Amino acid sequence: MKRNIYKILPVLCALFVLLSCNKAEINGILGDNQNPPGQVTNVTVENQNGQARISYNLPNNKDLLYIKAVYSIRNGEQREIKASGYTNNMIVDGFADTNPHEIKLYAVNKSEKASEPVSVTVTPLIAPFRLIFNALKASATFGGVRLNSINKFKATVAIVPLLDSLGNGDWANLDNVYTQDSVISASIRGLKPKQGKFAFYVRDRWLNRSDTLLVNLTPLEENLLNKDLFQEIRLPGDADYMYDTSLKLIWDKRTDYGQWPCMYTQESAGAPTTVSFSLGKEAKLSRIVVYPRREAGYYDKGNLKDFELWGSNSPNLDGSWASWTKLMTCNVTKPSGSPIGTDTGADEAYGKAGWSFDFPEDAVKFKYLRIRNLKNWRSSYFMEIAQISVWGVY
């Protein structure tokens, strides 16, 4: 019987402690503290583009949980920002204009009891999405429209394109361009070489939107080059292949990019590897799409990461580079920026769609292409390619 009492006693003690904590502090949080903390003091404002940094002194209250800012960003829409009770500043953002905005600051305790507000006025500088719009340029390119701008603050924005193809005010949505790159250079493809009236505006993540850029453009003609004309050329120094694979596998028109075999060069390569091929006849090149093989993942093994594309119309038979023109250096970057071995849905979609790169618009026609792999996803030099597609005009 004593043994059972010894087993029950700790449980009874624990229950006693819990029941006696009706208004005591549990894990640092008071169960019912109706006394609001004091207000923030010595408030200062640093106005920034589309936002403001507010600094302050915290009230001396051990029960302080956070500081809350309440304000309107547009048309009376309320926004709240919370900052930890362990920091003395916060960013209020989401502003679309440069007008004065009243911010009410509340100190809130662990029982969610708020102090009386302290009002402060911020006057944001020009919002990033407006700066992007002010620098936005639209021009015709192969198969569509090219958009260029500067995103100094690397803001997350969408450039929204519309097309009135008939000129009757019936606007159709095209694919949005989503970016946070500091230098924006994007192409909207799949358009016919026919003049149309285009409209573009910039929207930020708070759904603020800019004015609209209107422009008449005629996309340049672009066609998928005929893969039946492609032929491998073997030049001294070009890569050798493993597992009885060959270069012609990258234009055999397969669509299952996980299927074996695919082009696979010697893994033992100790320097950048090269493959060369003919397009069949000279063409003004607009873009190339490289489809990686999905084995363990798109961002693995010999799939291209950093590589160069070269063009020629009369390549030297000795394999030297004197008769070749470097067209561009290509870098594959995962949309998520996550480490190798961790792929998001966006990474998967990017790999499945193929890695697309635009050729320089001022380049002449070329008949031969050369791919020089500088680094794969294993940081070595061998190549693994499931398929390629080349676009342009003969």
Q: Nearest 10 degrees: CA dihedral of 245, 251, 257, 259?
A: -40
Residue 60 has pLDDT above 50, yes or no: yes
The pTM (predicted TM-score) of the whole model is: 0.77
For the chain, domains (ranges, CATH) are 30-122 (2.60.40.10), 128-220 (2.60.40.10), 224-393 (2.60.120.260)
Q: Residue 215 burial by CB count (10 A; 0-12/13-18/19+): exposed, middle or buried?
A: middle
Find the mean pLDDT for residues 142-146.
93
Yes or no: say if 103 and 72 are a contact pair by the CB < 8 Å rule.
Answer: no
- pLDDT above 90: percentage of residues in the chain: 79
Integer-rounded Cα radius of gyration of the chain = 30
Yes or no: say if 258 and 303 are a contact pair by the CB < 8 Å rule.
Answer: no
Kindly write down the DSSP assignment for every residue of 182-237, as one continuous string: SEEEEEE----SS-EEEEEEEEETT--B---EEEEE-PBP-EE--GGG-EEE--TT
**Beta strand 325-331 pairing with 263-264:** unpaired
DSSP alpha helix (H) spans, 255-322: none
Q: What pLDDT does residue 29 have?
A: 53
Yes or no: say if 287 and 357 are a contact pair by the CB < 8 Å rule.
Answer: yes
Residue 181: pLDDT band (50, 70, 90) is confident
> Which helix (H) or strand (E) element contains residue 135?
none
Find the mean pLDDT for residues 277-281.
98
Query: Across 30-34, 150-154, 258-262, which has the greatest mean pLDDT?
Result: 150-154
d(CA 13, CA 21): 13
Residue 391 has pLDDT above 70, yes or no: yes
Q: What pLDDT does residue 21 have?
A: 43
Q: What pLDDT does residue 30 have?
A: 52
Residue 31 has pLDDT above 80, yes or no: no
Would you state the structure tokens that stand for residue 70, as one six-digit string? 């309440």
Return mean pLDDT, the chain: 91
Beta-carbon-side half-sphere exposure of residue 133 (alpha carbons within 13 Å): 24
Collapse the DSSP code of 148 into the 3-class scheme (helix H, G, I; strand E, B; otherwise coil) and give the result: strand
Q: What pLDDT does residue 156 have?
A: 93
Query: Across 209-213, 293-297, 331-335, which has the greatest mean pLDDT?
Result: 209-213
Residue 248 is classified by DSSP as G
Residue 10 has pLDDT above 60, yes or no: no
Residue 83 has pLDDT above 50, yes or no: yes
Residue 270: pLDDT band (50, 70, 90) is very high
d(CA 102, CA 71): 6
Q: What pLDDT does residue 81 have?
A: 97
Residue 13 has pLDDT above 50, yes or no: no
Q: What's the pLDDT tens digit per position in 323-371?
A: 999 999 999 998 888 888 889 888 899 999 999 999 998 899 999 999 9
Residue 104 has pLDDT above 90, yes or no: yes
